[in-house]
């Protein structure tokens, strides 16, 4: 039996497994192109047109539009590829953490410091 | 014969590369982390390794999800550090060790590890940040690097036991390689961190410290943790412990801990640094 067969969810945690990888394939494929500077520039010129080029679903496009990281994860986004999208927006991992937890960036950073005490 | 002289664990967080670029290693946020490295650099300077076998994971630079190998090994004469999309500075090309790389691949497949063999590989922060940490000023030009990449991005991921045994088989290959080379092994990544989900920012210090204790002389005791257990106890990115276990598997002799450092937080992570000598 695979460790993935355990049906009990881990709160606040997504498993990027086969189901999610299939669901998010186009979204992640788009984000993979952001390794390339030209692609980043093309995206910024017309975000929705760039999403259409990769066949993103309406839900995925809306989440891109709203900078909704949790929405993107639920739509099959993989955090490593999403990081290339949030990077274009100038967001680092503490910013992305704050967005997902609904905290201010300062509170999120304070929580990390507290974990070390 | 080639000799395995020791193992080093280190975080490979992109923010470290940025801190190096900005020259802010001595600021209060960064100092407790960077202070963990001078003893390791001194040891490297004295032992003068010829080759680094470097366990890392690729965070979406070389590998996309169209083809995602569980284990991949570089056999190239050179590896290029490339644009990752969000601004980390690239470093000069990294030299490979083709002959030993192929010898390792031959042994692994003989041992039933069906690896992906790569003659070209762009390498990301998982590999470049550790080199920058060990050889400041990118003075790693004299070192030959063998990249061993483990999938930590898409489930299913291999178990700690599997990665340890991969390391065991790599050790067998190194120790049967007919050249007088000193080899050091890096286990990069970790320790506990979670980048995604509402639980982002989760760090588990007691679990990290337990892993650092066990990996020295009781690594097999960590086999009890499944990948799911690692996600639960060390965060969604906790399975990066697999790279440490691969490293530990390569240390085939008597292992002595010479140095360690542990600091929270670096970015979203508990950063563990260790120097293990292999005799």
Q: How far apart, in whole angstroms, are the C-alpha atoms of residue B70 and residue B47?
A: 32
Say whether B52 sits in a helix, a strand or coil.
strand
Q: What is the ipTM of this complex?
A: 0.97
Using a CB-CB cut-off of 8 Å, the residues of chain B touching A13 are 194, 196-197, 199, 231-232, 236
Q: Which residues of B are catalytic?
A: 125, 193
Query: Which residues pair with residue B271 across a beta bridge?
Result: B263
Domain contains A52 = yes
Residues B191 and B246 sit within 8 Å (Cβ to Cβ)? no
Domain contains A9 = no
To probe the interface with A, which of B201, B264, B266 has the most A CB atoms within 10 Å? Answer: B201
The mean pLDDT value for B247-252 works out to: 97
CB-based contact, B161 to chain A, within 8 Å = no
Domain contains A66 = yes
Question: Chain B residue with minimal CA distance to A108?
Answer: B201
CB-based contact, B266 to chain A, within 8 Å = no
The mean pLDDT value for B208-237 works out to: 98
How distant is the Cα of B201 from the closest Cα of chain A, in angstroms? Answer: 6
Q: Residue A64 sits in which domain range?
A: 16-115
Beta strands in chain B (DSSP E): 3-10, 51-56, 71-74, 78-81, 94-95, 116-118, 122-123, 144-150, 182-188, 255-266, 269-278
Domain contains A31 = yes
Question: Which domains does chain B possess?
Answer: 3-273 (3.40.830.10)
Domain contains A7 = no
Q: What is the pLDDT of residues B126-173, one digit of tens each?
A: 999 999 999 999 999 999 999 999 999 999 999 999 999 999 999 999
In tens digits, chain A (117 residues) has pLDDT values of: 999 999 999 999 999 999 999 999 999 999 999 999 999 999 999 999 999 999 999 999 999 999 999 999 999 999 999 999 999 999 999 999 999 999 999 999 999 999 998
The mean pLDDT value for B183-207 works out to: 97
Tracing tokens 């007691």 back to the chain, one arrives at: B206
Looking at residue B70, its pLDDT comes to: 98
CATH of the domain at A55: 1.10.700.10
Query: Which residues pair with residue B149 across a beta bridge?
Result: B56, B72
Looking at residue B214, its pLDDT comes to: 98
Give the 3-state secondary structure percentages of chain A, helix then strand then coil, rounded to 5.
70, 0, 30
Residues B51 and B181 sit within 8 Å (Cβ to Cβ)? yes
Cα R_g (chain B), whole angstroms = 17
CB-based contact, B254 to chain A, within 8 Å = no
Sign of CA pseudo-dihedral B167, B173, B174, B175: positive
Instruction: State the total domains in chain A.
Output: 1
Domain contains A61 = yes
Looking at residue A8, its pLDDT comes to: 96
Q: How far apart, in whole angstroms, are the C-alpha atoms of residue B112 and residue A62?
A: 46
Nearest to B60 among A73, A81, A108 (CB): A81
Domain contains A33 = yes
Cβ distance of A80 and B60 shorter than 8 Å = yes
């Amino acid at each position: 039996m695979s460790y993935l067969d355990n049906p009990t969810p881990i709160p606040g945690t997504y498993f990027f497994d086969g189901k999610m990888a299939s669901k998010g394939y186009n979204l992640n494929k788009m984000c993979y192109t952001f390794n390339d500077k030209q692609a980043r520039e093309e995206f910024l010129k017309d975000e929705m047109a760039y999403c259409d080029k990769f066949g993103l679903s309406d839900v995925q496009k809306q989440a891109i539009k709203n900078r909704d990281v949790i929405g993107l994860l639920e739509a099959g986004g993989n955090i490593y590829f999403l990081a290339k999208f949030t990077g274009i927006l100038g967001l680092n991992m503490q910013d992305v953490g704050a967005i997902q937890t609904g905290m201010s960036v300062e509170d999120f950073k304070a929580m990390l410091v507290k974990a070390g005490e | 014969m080639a000799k395995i002289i020791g193992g080093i664990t280190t975080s490979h967080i992109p923010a470290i590369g940025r801190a190096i670029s900005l020259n802010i290693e001595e600021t209060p946020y960064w100092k407790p982390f960077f202070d963990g490295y001078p003893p390791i650099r001194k040891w490297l300077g004295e032992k003068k390794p010829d080759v680094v076998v470097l366990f890392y994971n690729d965070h979406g630079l070389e590998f996309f999800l169209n083809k995602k190998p569980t284990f991949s090994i570089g056999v190239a004469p050179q590896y290029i550090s490339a644009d990752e999309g969000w601004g980390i500075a690239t470093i000069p090309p990294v030299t490979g060790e083709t002959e030993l790389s192929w010898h390792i691949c031959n042994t692994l497949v003989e041992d039933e590890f069906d690896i992906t063999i790569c003659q070209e590989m762009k390498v990301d922060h998982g590999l470049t940040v550790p080199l920058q940490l060990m050889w400041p000023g990118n003075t790693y030009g004299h070192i030959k690097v063998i990249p061993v990449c483990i999938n930590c991005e898409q489930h299913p991921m291999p178990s700690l036991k599997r990665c340890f045994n991969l390391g065991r088989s790599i050790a067998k290959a190194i120790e049967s390689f007919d050249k007088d080379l000193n080899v050091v092994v890096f286990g990069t990544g970790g320790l506990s961190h979670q980048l995604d989900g509402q639980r982002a920012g989760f760090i588990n210090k007691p679990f990290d410290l337990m892993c650092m204790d066990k990996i020295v002389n009781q690594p097999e005791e960590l086999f009890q943790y499944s990948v799911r257990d690692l996600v639960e106890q060390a965060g969604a990115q906790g399975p990066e412990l697999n790279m440490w276990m691969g490293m530990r598997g390569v240390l085939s002799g008597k292992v002595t801990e010479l140095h360690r450092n542990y600091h929270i937080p670096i970015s979203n992570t508990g950063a563990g640094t260790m120097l293990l000598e292999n005799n």
